Structure 1
Amino acid sequence: MNLNQVTISSKNLDKSVAFYKLLGLKLIVDALPRYARLECPDGEATFSIHLNEDMQPNQNTTVYFEDEDLDHLVLKLKQKGVNFLSEPKDQPWLWREAHLQDPDGNAIILFKAGQHRKSPPWVIS
């Protein structure tokens, strides 16, 4: 089994699609204003957004995007006007993370984990 895609809700797909394109994802399915699918710039994963006009603020969704040059990516995105909740920071679980939110308030974490993503020192053998 392999993770194919993640789908999130949005009250405004135009804003959401623009935000995720700004992060570097490529729009591959345009069924606006109700649905869009984007492709990650690396790997095979896709990310989709569907319209949910009645969605309520929540703290249930966190989306992680990994980049090998996290600090450079954050700098480029800040130059494009993206606001971050936290600067890149080394975490105790051996990942480097920067936190932000999409236009609907979904938590986004840009990170670099390298070998520690799937094989931290405490991995189960």
Structure 2
Amino acid sequence: MNLNQITISSLDTRTSVRFYKKLGLKLIVDALPRYARLECPDGDATFSIHHTEDLIINKGVTLYFEVENLPKTVSDLQQKGIIFNSEILEQSWLWHEVHLKDPDGNPIIIYHAGKNRKNPPWRIN
């Protein structure tokens, strides 16, 4: 089994698409303002945005995007006007991450974990 895509709801899909394109995702399906699908620049995962009139932010869901060079990514995104809610944090689970929110308030973490993403020292066999 492989995770194919994540779909989020948005009050303003056009604004959300512009935001996620700034993050580096590529628009591959444009059915705006109702729906859009983007693909991640690495791997096979896709990300879609569906229009809604009633937005409920689920505080239990966080979107994670992994990058190879977190400081460079943060710098590049800041130059594009992306606002972060934290500095780069070094976490006890061996990830480096930075926090932000999308235009609809969905929490996002951009991080680098490398081998520790799936194989931390405490992984069970």
Q: TM-score, normalised by structure 1?
A: 0.97
- Counterpart for residue 13 of structure 1: 13
- Counterpart for residue 113 of structure 1: 113
Please report the RMSD computed on the Cα atoms of aligned residues, expressed in angstroms.
Answer: 0.8
Secondary structure in 2 aligned to 1:87?
Answer: coil
Secondary structure in 2 aligned to 1:8?
Answer: strand
Deviates more, 1:55-64 or 1:40-49: 55-64
How many Å separate the matches in 2 of 1:57 and 1:113? 26
Runs ≥4 residues deviating over 2 A: none
How many Å separate the matches in 2 of 1:74 and 1:37? 24
Code of the residue aligned with 2:69 in structure 1: it is D
Gaps of 5+ in 1: none
Code of the residue aligned with 2:70 in structure 1: it is L
Say whether residues 1:31 and 2:31 are aligned partners.
yes
Q: TM-score, normalised by structure 2?
A: 0.97
Deviation at 1:75, TM superposition (A): 0.4
- Counterpart for residue 73 of structure 2: 73
Deviations 1:47-69 (A, max 9, x none): 00101111134413210000010
Gaps of 5+ in 2: none
Alignment of 1:46-85 (within 5 A): 46-85=46-85
Secondary structure in 1 aligned to 2:15?
Answer: helix
How many Å separate the matches in 2 of 1:61 and 1:12? 19
